Amino acid sequence: MRNHTVTQLADPAFHALADPTRRAVLDLLRDGSRSAGEIAGSFSTSRPAVSKHLRILRRSKLVHEHRRGRHRFYQLNPEPLQVVDQWLAQYRVFWRGKLASLKAYVESEHAGEKEAARVHKKKDLRSR
């Protein structure tokens, strides 16, 4: 899958994940299905505001909705997060390379400093 395609597939999920309240709803749903009322009761915002967040999460397919009688229940759907993870994987590879280079640089600098200190100490001992 080309990078551009991965980004396009992840766009609805990124839009949904951009809001901290929607991320918090997903965090709640990691533990299992919850009713709309239970979700709304977990936030200080109004029920209509929480309903709007749930609608966006449903449209982005990050949650599934099912009804039991008059009650709506929501469940986390992790599949769209796999596309987000694929997109992030490119950056993990990038940062691993950068961090490995930084580690090598710091270690070589540290080794150079240790060698300079050893030479300096040796000179001090000779001058005594």
- Yes or no: say if 57 and 22 are a contact pair by the CB < 8 Å rule: yes
Domain chopping of the chain, boundaries: 3-80
pLDDT digits (tens, 9 = 90+) for 27-68: 999 999 999 999 999 999 999 999 999 999 999 999 999 999
Q: Which of 12, 17, 14, 21 is nearest to 52 (CA)?
A: 21
pTM across the whole model: 0.67
CATH class of the structural domain 3-80: mainly alpha
pLDDT digits (tens, 9 = 90+) for 78-93: 999 998 888 888 888 8
